[in-house]
């Protein structure tokens, strides 16, 4: 039966889609295919789970307020230790806390008004912004002061900034909701 034929010449018909089939089978297989979904990067797909927004959105919301806060805090710390060391330290602390309140408040208002964020998204954005800004400040202080407390500050500063940002954003969002009604 198979005498005289080489195995290359044998045709197997097992119904695989890559084999040559008749036109009706090809049409049936093309109808069963589902449309391809858009491929996203892993960070974007992971970020979709954070209250319905991706990480790019959070970066867009927190970038400028937290950048300004970082510049203000670093500038005040450098001015305090290099040039204005005779002034009372409380003045600089009040200035830094005032900048934190203003910029975290601005972040909350901008997220609600400009980016149409809900309460959970605003609080997460404030927490993420505070965590990142606090970590950068802690690294700066670690190399600027070179004291033992700065090592422990690598954990404490980001957590403090995160809790402060969440508290300020929570107050501002609740005030916005109260006055909106």
- φ/ψ region of 88 (left if φ > 0, alpha if ψ in -120 to 50, else beta) reads beta
Q: Quick one: pLDDT at residue 7?
A: 61
Burial class (CB in 10 A: 0-12, 13-18, 19+), 9: exposed
- Three-state DSSP at 122 gives helix
> Mapping DSSP to helix (H, G, I), strand (E, B) and coil, where does residue 70 land?
helix
Average pLDDT of the chain is: 83
Higher-confidence residue of 27 and 85: namely 85
What is the maximal distance between C-alpha atoms in the chain?
Answer: 105
pLDDT in tens, 138-177: 999 999 888 999 999 999 999 999 999 999 999 999 999 8
Q: Mean pLDDT over residues 57-74, rounded?
A: 94
- Give backbone dihedrals phi and psi of 95, rounded to 5 degrees, phi first: -65, -45
Question: Mean pLDDT throughout 82-94?
Answer: 87
Q: Is residue 98 within 8 Å of 114, Cβ to Cβ?
A: no
Whole-angstrom distance, CA of residue 16 vs CA of residue 46: 35
Tell me the residue length of the chain: 181
Helices (H), the chain: 23-32, 42-47, 55-82, 89-113, 119-145, 149-180
Nearest alpha-carbon partner for 115 in 63, 58, 46: 58
Is this model's pTM higher than 0.75 or not? Answer: no
96-114, pLDDT tens digit by residue?
999 999 999 999 999 999 9
Which one-letter DSSP state was computed for residue 9? Answer: T
Cα–chain center distance at 174: 23
Q: Using CB atoms within 10 Å of the CB of residue 94, give its burial: 0 to 12 exposed, 13 to 18 middle, 19+ buried.
A: exposed
**pLDDT reported for residue 6:** 63
């Amino acid at each position: 039966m198979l005498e005289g034929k080489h195995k290359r010449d044998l045709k197997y018909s097992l119904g695989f889609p890559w084999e040559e089939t008749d036109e009706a089978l090809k049409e049936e297989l093309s109808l069963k295919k589902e449309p391809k979904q858009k491929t996203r990067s892993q960070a974007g797909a992971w970020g979709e789970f954070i209250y319905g927004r991706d990480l790019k959105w959070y970066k867009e919301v927190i970038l400028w307020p937290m950048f300004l806060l970082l510049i203000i805090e670093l500038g005040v710390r450098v001015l305090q230790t290099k040039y204005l060391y005779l002034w009372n330290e409380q003045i600089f602390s009040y200035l830094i806390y005032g900048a934190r309140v203003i910029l975290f408040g601005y972040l909350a208002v901008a997220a609600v008004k400009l980016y149409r964020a809900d309460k959970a998204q605003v609080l997460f954005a404030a927490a993420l912004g505070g965590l990142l800004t606090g970590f950068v400040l802690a690294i700066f202080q670690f190399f600027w002061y070179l004291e033992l407390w700065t090592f422990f500050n690598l954990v404490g500063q980001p957590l403090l900034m995160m809790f402060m940002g969440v508290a300020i954003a929570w107050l501002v969002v609740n005030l916005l909701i109260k006055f909106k009604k």
